[in-house]
């Protein structure tokens, strides 16, 4: 089903909520594309929840999140089996609506241990949904979301969520622009204190870290840092 809009507005929120009523009964849809339709948070949430409430759904691919020749992507059918433990959606052009939809699935089926959302376009509702998932997940151990266009508020929300999570072992976050403001200094200081006392975290990275392939799981305690790509290992 293709709703990728090439016009001005698309189906918008009302259209998405209307469509959601039919998706709750659908038993044949495997591919679903609602990008560029301005469905916003409420529309994306309604679409996700309607499919989650459909026990007979056979959905596999949504928007740009499906498998490609170079990357595995997501088969949404694997959520139900609990076999989807790694999600790599780096550089897929995901926006807020995309992640609002995805987070509903991540929340219902808390099975993903390795989540890579780096270098996408989530900045508002998507960031808030991501912070909720980080806080609530009981299995997430590896997170990479560098390169997201976050504000200082978004950075603070993500940092606080990581501190409140009790399963993460490796994390890479966007901490925003290096503005020398009191608010940012306070955020960094509080985040640092949270990292120091985190019960499970081994590695942290920020700014231009393209992936989370940390070769060394901290056997001892070491700290390495550079001015451009800081990495801290506990």
**How does pLDDT run along the chain (234 residues), one tens digit per residue?**
655 555 446 899 999 999 999 999 999 999 999 998 999 999 999 999 999 999 999 999 999 999 888 888 999 999 999 999 999 999 999 999 999 999 999 999 999 999 999 999 999 999 999 999 999 999 999 999 999 999 889 999 999 999 999 999 999 999 876 667 888 888 889 999 999 999 999 999 875 433 334 333 333 433 343 334 445 555
pTM: 0.84
In the chain, where are the structural domains located?
Answer: 1-59, 65-233
Strands 114-116 and 86-88 come out as parallel
pLDDT in the model for residue 209: 37
pLDDT in the model for residue 1: 60
User: pLDDT tens digits, residue range 82-123?
Assistant: 999 999 999 999 999 999 999 999 999 999 999 999 999 999
Q: What are phi and psi of 192, to 5 degrees?
A: -60, -40
Instruction: Count the alpha carbons within 13 Å of 233 in the hemisphere toward its beta carbon.
Output: 13
pLDDT in the model for residue 176: 72
As given in the structure block, the two tokens for residue 111 are 């099975």
Closest CA to 109 of 138, 84, 79, 129: 79
Distance CA(170)–CA(205), nearest Å, equals 8
pLDDT in the model for residue 129: 97
pLDDT in the model for residue 96: 96
Which residues is 204 bridged to in the sheet? 171, 232
pLDDT in the model for residue 194: 93
Going by C-beta distance under 8 Å and a sequence separation of 6 or more, which residues neighbour residue 221?
233, 234
What percent of the residues of the chain are helix, what percent strand, and what percent coil, each to the nearest 5? 35, 10, 55
pLDDT in the model for residue 3: 53
Neighbours of 60 (CB within 10 A): 17
State the fold for domain 65-233: 3.80.10
């Amino acid at each position: 089903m293709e709703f990728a809009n090439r016009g001005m507005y698309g189906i918008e929120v009302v259209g998405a909520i209307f469509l959601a009523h039919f998706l709750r009964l659908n038993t044949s849809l495997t591919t679903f594309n609602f990008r560029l339709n301005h469905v916003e948070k409420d529309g994306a949430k309604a679409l996700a929840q309607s499919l989650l409430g459909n026990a007979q759904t056979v959905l596999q691919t949504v928007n740009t999140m499906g498998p490609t020749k170079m990357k595995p992507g997501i088969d949404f059918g694997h959520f139900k089996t609990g076999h989807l433990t790694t999600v790599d959606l780096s550089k897929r052009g995901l926006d807020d609506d995309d992640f609002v939809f995805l987070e509903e699935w991540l929340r219902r089926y808390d099975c993903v241990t390795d989540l890579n959302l780096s270098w996408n376009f989530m900045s508002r509702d998507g960031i808030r949904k991501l912070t909720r998932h980080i806080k609530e997940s009981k299995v997430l151990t590896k997170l990479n979301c560098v390169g997201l266009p976050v504000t200082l508020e978004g950075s603070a929300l993500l940092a606080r969520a990581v501190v409140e999570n009790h399963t993460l072992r490796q994390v890479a976050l966007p901490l925003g622009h290096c503005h020398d403001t009191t608010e940012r200094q306070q955020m960094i200081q509080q985040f640092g204190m949270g990292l120091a006392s985190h019960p499970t975290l081994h590695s942290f990275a920020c700014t231009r870290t393209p992936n989370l392939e940390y070769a060394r799981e901290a056997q001892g305690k070491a700290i390495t840092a550079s001015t451009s790509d800081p990495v801290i290992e506990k």
